[in-house]
Amino acid sequence: MPQLLDRAPTRHPAAAPPNRPAFEDLRARAAALAPTIRARAAQTERDRRVSAETTAQVRDAGLYRLMQPARFGGYEYGFPEFIEMNRTTGRACGS
């Protein structure tokens, strides 16, 4: 039976999207939101959901676009940056 791939796929590094902010800038945005997120942590646990206000602030900071493909307006960062961003926000509230 023939194999569809007889070698590992080749990844071609793509140029960074032109609108992509530096990761340190995104992490600074997340760190700036941390006090507000931390202040809402108890309410988040009581409600068992992240508030609409927090969701809007994270969206407005561009953090949801971290791993989104550039063709859909995202920043195309990888999994290591995703983990690092989760560490930054997770210190404020694990939810």
- In angstroms, the first-to-last Cα distance of the chain is 47
Helix (H) or strand (E) run with residue 85 in it: helix 79-90
For helices 23-39 and 52-60, what crossing angle results, to 10°? 160
Task: Please give the Cα distance from 24 to 92 (Å, whole number).
Answer: 18
Task: Please give the Cα distance from 11 to 84 (Å, whole number).
Answer: 23
For position 6, what pLDDT does the model report?
52
For position 26, what pLDDT does the model report?
97
Per-residue pLDDT of the chain (95 residues; tens, 9 = 90+): 455 545 444 444 567 888 899 999 999 999 999 999 999 999 999 999 999 999 999 999 999 999 999 999 999 999 999 999 999 999 999 88
Q: Is 43 helix (H, G, I), strand (E, B) or coil?
A: helix
For position 19, what pLDDT does the model report?
85
